[in-house]
Structure 1
Amino acid sequence: MRLDELPAGIDAVIDHIDHRGAADAVARRLGELGFVPGEPLRIVASGPFGGDPLAVKIGFTRFALRRLEASRVILRDAP
């Protein structure tokens, strides 16, 4: 499942980031922000029109991601 498909309030764990080339700036930036394999996360809110942006919580930190960026984060079920 991709992060943009995850319902709000459901816990999941990052499996990997979808890299689209060796110099993929979006994938690199997601990794720098803490979107790394094994990290638990959840969507805590979404925007009113079309659900953009998504408010994503990793640990004690919240990030706002566009759905296009969130679709690059591949998830697995939380244990």
Structure 2
Amino acid sequence: MTLDELPLGRDARIASVDWAALVPEEAQRLRALGFDEGAQVRLAYRGVFLGRDPLAIEIGRMTVALRRIHARAMHVEELAA
């Protein structure tokens, strides 16, 4: 499943990222924020408008707003509760 499909409030680990699907500058920014294979994340919020953007992703002690297209490039594995 991709990060944008993760149920709200569930912990997951990033299994892989399709870096080729992202603009190089965006990929570099996401890596600098810690979005890479092995990182633990949680979907905290989905936007309410048509595209359901932005998504609020908790990573470490940060909450980062991501566009759905960026979250769609990240494949996650849900962690056991």
| Equivalent residue letter for 2:12 | A
Within 5 A, what are the aligned runs for 1:1-79?
A: 1-20=1-20, 24-50=24-50, 51-79=52-80
State the Cα deviation string for residues 2-30 of structure 1 (Å, max 9, x = none).
10111111110011211217x73322221
Kept after mapping to 1: 8 A contact 2:54/2:65: yes
Return 5+ residue gaps in structure 1 as ranges.
Answer: none
Q: CA deviation at 1:67?
A: 0.4
State the Cα deviation string for residues 20-76 of structure 1 (Å, max 9, x = none).
17x733222211110021111101111111321000001110000010111111111
Return 5+ residue gaps in structure 2 as ranges.
Answer: none
Q: Aligned residues, how many? A: 78
Kept after mapping to 1: 8 A contact 2:8/2:45: yes
| TM-score, normalised via structure 2 length | 0.83
**Alignment root-mean-square deviation, CA:** 1.7
| Equivalent residue letter for 2:18 | D
| TM-score, normalised via structure 1 length | 0.85
